[in-house]
């Protein structure tokens, strides 16, 4: 059952508290894009999937983009052709003329290159760990590969995942994010990794537990402040529910239609410009 809208654990209330803190206490900084931000360092939020699916309701999030991007990562793909064919444009600004991004998330997740010329499938290894060595403290997936950063169109923002199995059969996932655009990227990242947690739990016979979001530089771009204040004035609505096709037991077999968000009734979307 979803928690009440006024509960401090509700995704919109945790988000609002974070945004207010950034606006009130954030350090004014210039950044790579030249837009400028207010930023905090070292924040953490926690979402138990038993409380409802952590998808913002104070503005509409484009779920098709969230789901297709995650499936694209899991395919190991780094060309945005699949995204464009499915109406997803969130990577368009960074792709080259051949629609390539370099060795970004998908390649690091599924084909991390070794010095010997081989590759490591970090996602498959994580699934095997959860099944066969659930007490491991090394169930980690890294997108941050220093050797490949210069070849990437955009260095990984959400860069490290750690998974934790409990004796009551729950699976928890912690995402460490070095840089977070709280106006645009935050909601996508939370929804994406909450879905990934649920998919990995189902694929390993476990119960999806907490998604923990550990944030390095979490910021509000100066040109997002007005829109975010409008969003903060909106009342949260009930958190939706995530439903996965129960017949899918292989993480890599999930398709778009196997992932459904039910009872999602958000406020309208709010336009914010992407800082490139």
Task: Please write the tens of the pLDDT for every residue from 172-181.
Answer: 999 999 999 9
Token look-up 């699934």 returns 127
pLDDT of residue 275: 72
pLDDT tens figures, 129-175: 999 999 999 999 999 999 999 999 999 999 999 999 999 999 999 99
Strand pairing class (140-142; 158-165): antiparallel
Residue from 9, 8, 4, 11 nearest 188 by CA: 11
pLDDT range class, residue 245, cuts 50, 70, 90? very high
Q: How many CA atoms lie within 13 A of 175 on its CB side?
A: 27
Q: Between helices 122-132 and 185-204, what is the axis angle to 10°?
A: 50
Annotated catalytic residue 157: yes
pLDDT of res. 35: 87
Instruction: Give dist(CA 111, CA 121) in Å, integer.
Output: 5
pLDDT of residue 1: 67
Mean pLDDT check: name the lowest of 102-106, 134-138, 269-273: 269-273
Mean pLDDT of 11-33: 96
Residue pair 144/159 in contact (Cβ under 8 Å)? The answer is: yes
Q: Say if residue 276's pLDDT is above 70.
A: no
pTM of the complete model: 0.97
Is pLDDT at 44 greater than 80 in this prediction?
yes
Which stretches of 163-255 are DSSP H helices? 185-204, 225-232
82 backbone φψ class: left, alpha, beta (φ>0; ψ -120 to 50): alpha
- The dihedral region occupied by 274, where left means phi > 0, alpha psi between -120 and 50, and beta the remainder, is beta
Model confidence band, residue 274 (pLDDT cutoffs 50, 70, 90) = confident
Q: Is the pLDDT of residue 2 over 90?
A: no
* Share of residues in the chain with pLDDT > 90 (%): 95
DSSP 8-state assignment for residue 233: T
Catalytic residue among 5, 157, 165, 180: 157
What pLDDT does 33 receive? 85
């Amino acid at each position: 059952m979803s928690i009440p809208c006024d509960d401090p654990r509700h995704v919109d209330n945790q988000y609002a508290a974070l945004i207010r803190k950034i606006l009130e206490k954030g350090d004014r900084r210039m950044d790579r894009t030249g837009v400028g931000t207010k930023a905090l360092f070292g924040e953490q939020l926690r979402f138990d999937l038993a409380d409802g699916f952590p998808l913002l309701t104070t503005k509409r999030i484009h779920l098709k983009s969230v789901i297709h991007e995650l499936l694209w990562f899991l395919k190991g793909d780094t060309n945005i052709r699949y995204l464009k064919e499915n109406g997803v444009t969130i990577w368009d600004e960074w792709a080259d003329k051949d629609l390539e991004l370099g060795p970004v998330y998908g390649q690091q997740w599924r084909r991390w290159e070794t010095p010997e010329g081989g590759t490591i499938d970090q996602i498959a290894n994580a699934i095997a760990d959860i099944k066969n060595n659930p007490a491991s403290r090394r169930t980690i997936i890294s997108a941050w590969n220093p050797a490949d950063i210069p070849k990437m169109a955009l260095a990984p923002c959400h860069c490290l995942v750690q998974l934790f199995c409990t004796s009551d059969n729950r699976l928890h996932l912690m995402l460490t994010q070095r840089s977070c655009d709280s106006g645009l990227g935050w909601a996508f990242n939370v929804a994406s990794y909450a879905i990934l947690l649920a998919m990995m739990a189902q694929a390993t016979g476990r119960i999806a537990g907490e998604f923990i979001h550990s944030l390095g530089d979490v910021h509000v771009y100066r040109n997002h402040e007005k829109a975010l204040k409008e969003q903060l004035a909106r009342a949260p609505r009930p958190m939706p529910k995530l439903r996965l096709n129960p017949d899918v037991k292989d993480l890599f077999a999930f398709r778009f239609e196997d992932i459904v968000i039910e009872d999602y009734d958000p406020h309208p979307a709010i336009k914010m410009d992407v800082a490139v």
